[in-house]
Amino acid sequence: MQRLLDGLIKFRQKDYEEHKALFSKLKRVQEPHTLFIACSDSRVMPEMITKSLPGELFVVRNIANIVPPYKDTHQDYVATTSAIEYAVKSLKVENIVVCGHSNCGGCASIYLPDEILSKLPDTKKWLELAHNVKRRVMGHLKDESDIYQREWLTEQINILEQIKHLLTYPYIKEKYLNKELNIYGFYYMIETGEVFIFNYETGEFELSN
C-alpha cells in the first residue's frame, strides 16, 4: 500500500503537472476514440502498450477479455455489456479493440478440471462464455499434449470469438457494416512487448511493432 501512496504523490507532482492543461480540458467531458476490451491481468496495461493519454481509451477489463453475446433481454453480465453499450451509443467511439495476451490465466482456466473450477464458482460461470473457444481449439489442435500450442491457439482464437460476439450486437453490426466503426483484434506478447494485429484479409495475426 505504501508503494501506491507514494505513486499518488509522484503522479500529482510529475505526471499531472506535465499534462495539467489536458486534465483541465477533461474535467467535464470525455471523448475517447477507442473502446479497449482487455484482460484484467495485472501485466496488461492498455495505456502503456498504446502510449495513450487520458481521455483516449474507454477501457473494459475482465477475465480473458470476454464479450458476452448480445441478448435483447436483461442478462447476467451487464458490467461488460453496459460498458460496451455506453461506449458505442453514448460516447460514439470510432474503434473497438479486443486485446488478448500471452500466458493468459483466464484462457488456461477453461481447461481446468471441474473439481478445481467448482472452488471458483463465479469464475466458472464467467468462463462458460468461452465454451466455444475451447471447442474450436480442440478441433484445430493436432497434439493435445502440446500445452504451448494449445495456449497460443486458445488466446488467439478467443480474440476472434469475442469479435464474433461483438457483431451480435445490432447497434455495433450496423455501424460496422456502414463503416462507422472499426473492430480490431490485438494479441500482446508480454515477454517481448510485441503486438500482433489480426488481418481480416489473410486470416492471420501480423506483427505491428
Per-residue pLDDT tens over the stretch 149-191: 999 999 999 999 999 999 999 999 999 999 999 999 999 999 9
Instruction: Please give the annotated binding residues, written as ranges.
Output: 39, 41, 101, 104
Q: Does 13 share its domain with 79?
A: no
Q: Could you give the strand order of the β-sheet that contains 95-101, starting from the edge strand earlier in sequence?
A: 57-62, 34-39, 95-101, 182-188, 195-199, 204-207
Q: The whole model's pTM is what?
A: 0.94
CA atoms within a 13 Å half-sphere pointing along the CA-CB vector of 114: 1
- Domain membership of residue 78 as a residue range: 31-207
Q: Does 24 share its domain with 44?
A: no
Per-residue pLDDT tens over the stretch 102-126: 999 999 999 999 999 999 999 999 9
Find the CATH number of the domain harbouring 110. 3.40.1050.10
> What total of structural domains would you count in the chain?
2
Closest CA to 96 of 162, 41, 21: 162
Q: Which range is least confidently modeled, 14-28, 87-101, 156-170?
A: 14-28
Instruction: Please give the annotated binding residues for Zn(2+), written as ranges.
Output: 39, 41, 101, 104
Q: Does 10 share its domain with 104?
A: no
Structure confidence at residue 76 (pLDDT): 74
- What's the first-to-final CA gap in the chain, in angstroms? 35
Q: Does 188 share its domain with 124?
A: yes
Phi, psi (degrees; rounded to nearest 5) at 101:
-155, 165
